Structure 1
């Protein structure tokens, strides 16, 4: 009898265990299996997109609080569309207040401003705030999670599914290291005006101070954020964006056994990847758009002229070499100029504006470069003359698209960069973010000498100071820093 009673008891135990797993949102891949899975990691070059390090990058893992990056992405979309602003009040429901920690602990009926919700999600990783955001935007967390998944597909995150807004355990909510890197790249690329929030290290709310869980902030050079995550099922997760010097790397590590092991692994991945990353330079360009818009190299043009005129005398050839060296020598610039108010904060005083170098070649000594004819017969040999100074009139014309002319008396400046391509991108990004406001206002870039370096200002032209001031105030409410300057 004892043998007959053993089997039913075992079946009951199995059923009870399966019911418990279902209640907790687990599958056979559940907590222990996920915790035993090896760490997954991926690092890519922020300029080229090249994979610099990969380990189980496409293996499915639980995202935990990395989910909140997508929650913030959708919130930033709503802010850009004008449906939500920084001061919008969001009300806590009974369901939001009942979420498991980590949370702020507000009661049903209480409200939180959007700006405080953003900071709470980034630093405290508040689960109750994530549900408040979801319910405010979509009416329910379920519909919000569906939108999150649709957004993920649009961003190329093929192996990610969202079931909630905060990352609490759910067997159907999965992602990969590759998809998390794509998300980090997208939120930085699409919302440059909001991305600096991920650098926040502390957040004070109703008398309490909350520290960012990302311990690499302030401890790893160039760290820009972005987000940590942890559940027992997922292990310790972290996505990062690091910009050190002229190198930029995005990385994700999922499934660390402890936060220290995760951080140490991330350090090792970043150290290795930064050494292999491309050192960005103005000649390479920071974007495909900048590379497409770049004019043909003046050096190639000069070399072509040399080939066209092989009979030119030695002095002319030395002059051409010197001009080539001057034209082709890269300019050392400050790559850390940002579009913050500090970089924008010129006093309004006029600064010298560099005129585009428009070389043209007149008649050279002893030869006509257009026809290759020789004006006078050269002696068989003569001493090498000293190279004469290069003049603007002695360099061949380089084709260049005409700069947009702006004669508006007042300007709104929205950024200052060391690369023209970035300034052009900034003008386009701001116009997209405030299309209705900036309709009819010409956007342009202005090249300015600043000591030994050059910066490119991203600006919009307006006819009156009053209009410029009102437009800038509206941009600031949208989270876009700007300053009004007289042209």
Structure 2
């Protein structure tokens, strides 16, 4: 029996080692991934992964282009019906675009809709030249304004998000920009929910499917270049609370949207838990989050001083132009897509055996509340771990505090359980349990 136990332990360690290698390989497969979820009312960060790592913004850039345009409208320097001239430089931009002709013009309101719905690169340059004289001059205005908004890791080199090694940001900065757009210009925010618009007889439809398909989602922006992967910034409301989330580096638009929907669901679930008035202390996770490695092209400070240079990458920033390839191939379920892997990891059932580790899900002044939350956590883990035991114990000290725990776990099982609970919106902490 002792030999059998040693053999079983060896097999378990081997598979744990293989799982760790698989996690490392998965992480290395996508150094572009980053995400953040923020409760707008409180400013609390409900989830983050590589949120401060340097990334390429792609067409999320156009949110800043629109921010400066909204400033011009609010100050009275522009008005919605004002025609903006189209230069040969603007007309030469690659797709996505409206195919504006040099020497023509476009009204400001049509320009706003074209940036939101079509993600039109030619229109972005039209706006840039109208506000900054030249696109490079406007990019300097964008960077300066970004710094003033607290986006300290962001550098802009163009108005569209077309490939440029020196144009960088972070998920946190893009979330900051999303929130400031809503708060500073509520009278114009509704444009970000526009799903279609008609210009000169052609109807253009938004490829921001989250606004159409996720309940409560009411805006912002998608983006794609090969260097960035598929990005999206989304705002959604549920029970009168607003969440803003940013996902960067998706391998496909579909997996990115699935991951965003999952993050929003978990964010709202966590927010509902935090709104309960009976918390004494919130638990935090220790070591159970799989952080994907950062792979910044350079620091924002270095890039701010660097000469302007155009990276060799595909022209264009359109999800639509790649949609056919995605539908027939990648989006059918690539095993190499780390965003799908993150979702699958949270849902994958695992085996367990008794041990001396526990998952604490809260500390309460009322024993019934502690027991309720611990039982709820056990129910949420039913598909992951069988026969989880609930423990509610009073801690020593002057104040009566009841710890809500799930006990008798192996350490690896406890970390997996806590990871799963956090993914479902419940805070937790892995602890040794005697």
- What is the TM-score with the length of structure 1 in the denominator? 0.50
Identify the structure with bigger relative contact order (alpha carbons < 8 Å, sequence gap 6+): 2
2:59 to 61, 65, 72: 65
Q: Name the structure 2 match of 1:220.
A: 214
In the TM superposition, residue 280 of structure 1 has moved relative to its aligned partner by 11
Q: Name the structure 2 match of 1:246.
A: 240
Determine helix, strand or coil for the equivalent of 1:218. Answer: helix
Q: Name the structure 2 match of 1:332.
A: none
- Deviation per CA, 1:347-399: give whole Å up to 9, x if none: xxxxxxxxxxxxxxxxxxxxxxxxxxxxxxxxxxxxxxxxxxxxxxxxxxxxx
Cα distance 1:142–1:34, how it changes in 2: closer, same or farther (>3 A)? farther
**Following superposition of structure 1 onto structure 2, how do residues 201-350 of structure 1 map, counting pairs within 5 Å?**
201-277=195-271
**Following superposition of structure 1 onto structure 2, how do residues 78-89 of structure 1 map, counting pairs within 5 Å?**
78-89=72-83
Q: Name the structure 2 match of 1:120.
A: 114
Q: Distance in 2 between matches of 1:133 and 1:238?
A: 22
Cα distance 1:163–1:176, how it changes in 2: closer, same or farther (>3 A)? same
Cα distance 1:85–1:279, how it changes in 2: closer, same or farther (>3 A)? farther
Q: Name the structure 1 match of 2:95.
A: 101
Q: Distance in 1 between matches of 2:98 and 2:229?
A: 23
Q: Name the structure 2 match of 1:195.
A: 189
**Following superposition of structure 1 onto structure 2, how do residues 16-165 of structure 1 map, counting pairs within 5 Å?**
36-165=30-159
- Deviation per CA, 1:69-102: give whole Å up to 9, x if none: 0000000000011010001100110000000100
2:178 to 184, 192, 196: 184
- What is the TM-score with the length of structure 2 in the denominator? 0.56
Q: Distance in 2 between matches of 1:154 and 1:180?
A: 14
Cα distance 1:143–1:221, how it changes in 2: closer, same or farther (>3 A)? same
Q: Distance in 2 between matches of 1:45 and 1:185?
A: 10
Determine helix, strand or coil for the equivalent of 2:214. Answer: coil
Specify every segment of 5 or more residues in structure 1 that has no aligned partner in the other structure, as ranges.
Answer: 1-32, 284-487
Determine helix, strand or coil for the equivalent of 2:211. Answer: coil
Cα distance 1:255–1:84, how it changes in 2: closer, same or farther (>3 A)? same
In the TM superposition, residue 217 of structure 1 has moved relative to its aligned partner by 1.4
Determine helix, strand or coil for the equivalent of 1:36. Answer: coil
In the TM superposition, residue 38 of structure 1 has moved relative to its aligned partner by 4.5
Specify every segment of 5 or more residues in structure 2 that has no aligned partner in the other structure, as ranges.
Answer: 1-26, 278-434
In the TM superposition, residue 246 of structure 1 has moved relative to its aligned partner by 2.0
In the TM superposition, residue 218 of structure 1 has moved relative to its aligned partner by 2.1
Q: Distance in 2 between matches of 1:35 and 1:222?
A: 32
Determine helix, strand or coil for the equivalent of 2:129. Answer: helix
Q: Distance in 2 between matches of 1:137 and 1:199?
A: 24
Cα distance 1:149–1:272, how it changes in 2: closer, same or farther (>3 A)? same
Determine helix, strand or coil for the equivalent of 1:87. Answer: coil
Question: 1:40 touches 1:55 (CA, 8 Å); kept in 2?
Answer: yes
**Following superposition of structure 1 onto structure 2, how do residues 372-391 of structure 1 map, counting pairs within 5 Å?**
none
Question: 1:247 touches 1:280 (CA, 8 Å); kept in 2?
Answer: no
Q: Name the structure 1 match of 2:423.
A: none
Determine helix, strand or coil for the equivalent of 1:210. Answer: strand
| Two-structure CA RMSD over aligned residues (Å) | 1.9
Q: Does 1:171 align with 2:165?
A: yes
In the TM superposition, residue 37 of structure 1 has moved relative to its aligned partner by 1.4
In the TM superposition, residue 213 of structure 1 has moved relative to its aligned partner by 1.7
- Deviation per CA, 1:428-483: give whole Å up to 9, x if none: xxxxxxxxxxxxxxxxxxxxxxxxxxxxxxxxxxxxxxxxxxxxxxxxxxxxxxxx
Determine helix, strand or coil for the equivalent of 1:255. Answer: strand
In the TM superposition, residue 247 of structure 1 has moved relative to its aligned partner by 2.0
Question: 1:246 touches 1:280 (CA, 8 Å); kept in 2?
Answer: no
User: Which of the pair has more CA radius of gyration?
Assistant: 1
Q: Name the structure 2 match of 1:292.
A: none
Q: Name the structure 2 match of 1:439.
A: none
Q: Distance in 2 between matches of 1:66 and 1:132?
A: 17
User: Would you tell me which structure has more helix in proportion to its own residues?
Assistant: 2
Question: 1:248 touches 1:277 (CA, 8 Å); kept in 2?
Answer: no
Cα distance 1:39–1:94, how it changes in 2: closer, same or farther (>3 A)? same
Q: Name the structure 2 match of 1:425.
A: none
